[in-house]
Amino acid sequence: MGVWVDPDFAEDRYVQLRGRAWHVWLRRGLLALIAALLVAALLNVFGQRTTSSAVATPEARMEVDAPPRLSGGLLYQIRFRLQPLRHAVSHPKLVLNENWFDGMTLNSITPNPAAANSRGGRFALAFPALGKGRTLTVLGELQVNPTSLGKRSLSAAFVDGATRLAVVHRTLTIFP
């Protein structure tokens, strides 16, 4: 009994890859690209590791902990710390520009604000009076909508009534 060999089988094309040498490099290049993206993700290039931005004025200190880079679909947390330094704040507000919520789903804010409103593209969250040296920590849980992407400027202000006490500016980059 012998081994049947297809007469149309082109050993040099299918085994030796003659005439298809560049295909091998195309496959290797695509695999290298996928591996590079995975390594970049492991190094938090697209991830949600938080960074802190703080501003201290003579009247107040404000700190924002939030990720500077996100990708679509991620759940993440923002932490705002508001602290009056010179005197008590009778009408504390956290005022955020619209870019904080553009293309995002707000899941919760803790503690619940006593009042919330929006005007002129800004969202104001009012809280009960805050004594001198006391710290108000506000947590927000959000999710990036999958269709959101791009770079945006964020601003958050600590306000007493109509007086701005401190402002933090940040940049957020959203990857697909």
Residue ranges per structural domain of the chain: 11-42, 51-175
Whole-model pTM? 0.77
Whether omega before 111 lies within 30 degrees of 0, making that bond cis, reads: yes
pLDDT digits (tens, 9 = 90+) for 61-118: 999 999 999 988 889 999 999 999 989 999 999 999 999 999 999 999 999 999 999 8
CA-closest candidate to residue 60, choices 88, 80, 79:
88
Whole-number pLDDT of residue 50 = 85
| 51-175 carries CATH number 3.30.710.10 | no
- pLDDT classification of 12: cutoffs 50, 70, 90: low
Q: pLDDT digits over 156-165, tens only?
A: 999 998 899 9
Q: Are the beta carbons of 168 and 64 closer than 8 angstroms?
A: yes
Query: What is the model's pLDDT at position 45?
Result: 76
